[in-house]
Amino acid sequence: MEFSEHIKTANVEDVVLRRPFYQPTKGTLCVTGHHLIFSNRGGDSARPFLLLLRNIDAIEKSVENLLGYSRLFSSTGQSQRPSVSSGTITLKCKDLCVLQLDIPGMEECLNIASSIESLSSLETVSEMYPFFYRPPFLSLQDQWGLSSTEQHYAQMKEIHDGWRVSQVNRDYSVSPSYPPAVIVPHSIDDETLVKAARFRQGGRFPVLCYYHRETGTVIMRSSQPLSGANRKRCREDELLLQAVIDGSELGYIIDTRSSQQAQQARMTGGGFESKSCYRGWKRLHRQLEKGKVLQESLIKLVEACGDQSHSVDRWLSKLENSKWLSHVQTALSTAGLVAECVERDGHSVLVHGSEGTDTSLLVSSLAQLILDPDSRTLAGFLGLLEREWVQAGHPFQQRCAHSAYSHVRLRHEAPVFVLLLDCVWQLARQFPLAMGFSEPLLLRLAKEVYASDYGTFLCNSDQERCVTGVKERTHCLFQSLLRANERQHYSNPLYERTELAIWPSIQPPSLQLWKGLFLQWTDDALHLVEAQKVIQNLVSQCHRPLNEKVENTDG
């Protein structure tokens, strides 16, 4: 299919663009297969403004025929030129930016609007922009992704005795959403894994995600067991979990559903690990919201942030009503619980909810950030995201199809990844020296996950990425972020590695609205950005070799 079919009007002159931080400017608007391009005629030095169509969440248009108006309202009025009509398109983007285009000509306006509507909602992965993005500084020959399961395993010498890499999912037949290789207990063979996988939703049997050196305990994740209404058992699944806590007397299963939800899940074939079948495993329930509830929470929060009314009471009640900060609190406290089990009590933990592709990943990755200094470096954090989200099969395409502004009926959308980024921001706010990466990285990720030049967040699983050729035909965001100049920009100038766990406070006053994200298009954000720059300069001044300055003053 050709993109041109969707483009009824490719070029319009004399369009006025209004966007945050800039004066309204007049210029030429051009619609291409993947972008809106706006170029300012006069300003030759200014680069054209480029907007990825994929970034557009909602489009609102209003057209008016000024001829009609002038007849109605101006009695003396021949001042208006006859037959002037125009339209206004409001674009609400997934990165929460809102822009407006004033387009002369009603027909042009409608044409542009309909082109944007159809092009921004194209769903064929291989037609998306990452397949066309070819920047000069990247080569398709480069490795796609930072590390594979095998490489990750190879680096962790200390687990080689107890754990092995299994290729049982090499053709994605055991679990379509798992990567080809996973880390499992040494004593469990592939045959057992295959059988255990049949007992877990989506074949997501328990796999290792983190090994804690000091205590020798681990964090595992999986999906729910399919025990169903008649409490089915699976010997192999029990063996697998037995092998995890081998020797030690206790492990914890953190179920990210309420116990009632877990009970109800049995009616639809799901369930939970019963005490009698899984000896030594203790189950705790911590309900984390996901899916539609989470999506609606984001929508309400963004709506509240855009409220221009001047009532504090109204703002606080809207903030409360959105429940977003409650979700942040629950996610961090559950992650803290997991980390506590591992570090303070020395017990292994298995995390799962139902599918094991959303809240489980949220909790396991936050727990790792709390515990593991390696995951708090820039490269370490990106590596964590790659392992725990991209490879682990978080369905990015479904979850991030729409953001907070969309009017379309929601299907599988849920801002789980944005919630993760918010929680990471809260951690970084409470421990401003402990993270190797900076707030701009989190903001960049929050943008890229919805609309990107890169292929990293395309598709819903590793399998899909292989089928569509993402790894061969698109560039990897994480690789790109680690290039020297980008690395500089996304590093935390205050970073000082700490080997200790960072325990966040989850008391409500300790958790704050993430202004950098939710208010990033207001003037407020400008002051914060300025402050970050000043910090950067200060630190680099203080760390400059001493003699440099002295020489200068001498000269």
Partner 1 sequence: MYHGHNIREGRWFTVVVILNHITEVQLLDRYTAKKPAIGTLYLTATHLIFVETSCNTRKETWIIHHHIATVEKLPLTGTGYPLNISCKNFHVVHFVIPSERYCQDVYHSLLRLSQPAKLEDLFAFLYNPKQDEDDRRNGWGFIDSAMDFKRMGLPNEFWELTDLNKNYELCSTYHSELGIPKTARKDTVLGSAKFRSRGRLPTLSYYHKESNGAICRCSQPLSGISARCLEDEEMLQAISRANPNSTFMYVVDTRPKLNAMANRAAGKGYENADNYSNIRFQFVGIENIHVMRNSLQKLLEVCAMKSPTMSDYLTGLENSGWLRHIKAVMDAGVFLAKAVADEKASVLVHCSDGWDRTAQVCSLASILLDNFYRTIKGLMVLIEKEWISMGHKFTQRCGHVDGDPKEVSPVFTQFLECVWNLMEQYPCGFEYNEKYLLEIHNHVYSCQFGNFIGNCQREREEMLKEKTFSVWPFLWENRQQYINPLYKCSLGREVLRPSTLPLNFKFWCGMYNHFDKGMQPKQSILDHLLTIIQKRVEGEKKMTDFQRVSRYRFV
Q: Does 310 bind partner 1 (CB under 8 A)?
A: yes
Alpha helices in 402-483 (DSSP H): 416-430, 439-448, 462-467, 470-473, 477-481
Q: With respect to partner 1, which residue has the nearer C-beta, 350 or 517?
A: 517
What residues from 412 to 431 belong to the interface with partner 1 (CB under 8 A)? 429-431
Q: Angle of helix 324-343 relative to helix 312-322, nearest 10 degrees?
A: 50
Q: Which amino acid is at 140?
A: L
CB 549 → partner 1: shortest distance, Å? 7
Least distance CB 346 / partner 1 (angstroms): 20
Residue among 67 and 539 whose Cβ is closer to partner 1: 539
Query: To the nearest whole angstrom, how small is the minimum distance from the Cβ of residue 533 to partner 1?
Result: 9
CB of 412 to partner 1, least distance (A): 26
What is the pattern of x (binds partner 1, CB under 8 A) and - over residues 516-535?
Answer: ---x--xxx--xx-xx--xx
User: Which of residues 509 and 555 has its CB atom nearest to partner 1 in the complex?
Assistant: 509
- Give, as one character, the DSSP assignment of residue 410: P
Task: Verify binding: residue 319, partner 1, rule CB under 8 A.
Answer: yes
Question: 169 near 175, Cβ under 8 Å?
Answer: yes
Least distance from partner 1 to the Cβ atom of residue 201, Å: 30
What is the three-class DSSP state of 375? helix
Distance CA 401, CA 366 (A): 24
**Residue 40 or 536 with smaller CB distance to partner 1:** 536
Beta carbon nearer to partner 1, 484 or 546: 546
Instruction: List beta partners, residue 38.
Output: 29, 49
Pick between residue 3 and residue 503 the one whose CB is nearest to partner 1. Answer: 503
Q: Which is nearer to partner 1, 88 or 333 (CB)?
A: 333
Pick between residue 276 and residue 552 the one whose CB is nearest to partner 1. 552
Q: Which of 533, 451, 517, 444 is nearest to 480 (CA)?
A: 444
Dist. CA 77–CA 67, nearest whole Å: 11
HSE-up of 91 (CA within 13 Å, CB side)? 29
Q: Which among 157-165, 188-196, 313-321, 440-448 is the span making contact with partner 1, rule CB under 8 A?
A: 313-321
**3-state percent breakdown (helix, strand, coil) of the chain, nearest 5:** 45, 15, 40
Compute the residue count for the chain.
555
98 binds partner 1 (CB under 8 A): no
Question: Tokens in use for 415?
Answer: 């801002």
> Is 540 near partner 1 (CB under 8 A)?
no
Alpha helices, DSSP H, located in 288-358: 291-305, 312-322, 324-343
Which of these, 359, 228, 362, 370, lies nearest to 287 by C-alpha position?
359
Handedness of CA 291, 292, 297, 300 (dihedral sign): positive
- Min dist CB 469 to partner 1, Å, is 44
Distance of closest approach, residue 423 Cβ to partner 1, in angstroms: 13
Site for partner 1 in 453-512 (CB under 8 A): 494, 496, 502-503, 505, 507-512
Least distance between partner 1 and beta carbon 320 (Å): 4
Q: Is 250 in the site for partner 1 (CB under 8 A)?
A: no
In this complex, which beta carbon is closest to partner 1, that of residue 430 or of residue 480?
430
Which of 311, 407, 483, 497 is the binder for partner 1 (CB under 8 A)? 311
Distance from the first to the final alpha carbon of the chain: 67
What is the torsional sign of CA 292, 298, 303, 304?
positive
Sign of torsion, CA 264 269 273 278?
positive
Binding mask 7-26 for partner 1 (x = CB under 8 A): --------------------
199 three-class SS: coil
Beta carbons within 8 Å of 323's beta carbon, 6+ residues apart:
289, 297, 300
Integer-rounded Cα Rg, in Å, for the chain is 26
Identify the residue among 242, 326, 397, 480 touching partner 1 (CB under 8 A): 326
Among 254, 298, 305, 338, binds partner 1 (CB under 8 A): 305
Residue whose CB is less far from partner 1, 151 or 321:
321
Helices 291-305/416-430 angle, 10° precision: 60
Closer residue to partner 1 in complex, CB, 485/547: 547
DSSP annotation string for 217-262: EEEEE---B--TTTT---HHHHHHHHHHTTTSS-EEEEESS-HHHH
Query: Least Å distance between CB 381 and partner 1?
Result: 18
**Ramachandran sector of residue 231 (left: φ over 0; alpha: ψ -120 to 50; beta: rest):** left
Q: Which of 14, 64, 315, 397 binds partner 1 (CB under 8 A)?
A: 315
Residue 322, both tokens: 């959105």
Taking CB under 8 A as the criterion, the residue among 235, 433, 488, 489 binding partner 1 is 433
Candidates 94, 323, 347, 465: give the one binding partner 1 (CB under 8 A).
Answer: 323
Among 320, 408, 488, 489, binds partner 1 (CB under 8 A): 320
CB of 160 or CB of 549, closer to partner 1: 549
**Contact yes or no for 40/26 (Cβ under 8 A):** yes
263 contributes a contact to partner 1 by CB under 8 A: no
Of the candidate residues 76, 547, 552, 555, the single one contacting partner 1 (CB under 8 A): 547
How many binding residues for partner 1 (CB under 8 A)?
Answer: 57
Residue found under tokens 């009314």: 309
- Cβ distance to partner 1 smaller for residue 156 or 494: 494
Among 81, 313, 409, 485, binds partner 1 (CB under 8 A): 313
**Residue 264, interface with partner 1 (CB under 8 A)?**
no
The residue ranges that bind partner 1 (CB under 8 A) are 304-305, 307-317, 319-320, 323, 325-326, 329, 429-434, 494, 496, 502-503, 505, 507-513, 519, 522-524, 527-528, 530-531, 534-535, 538-539, 541-543, 546-547, 549-550, 554
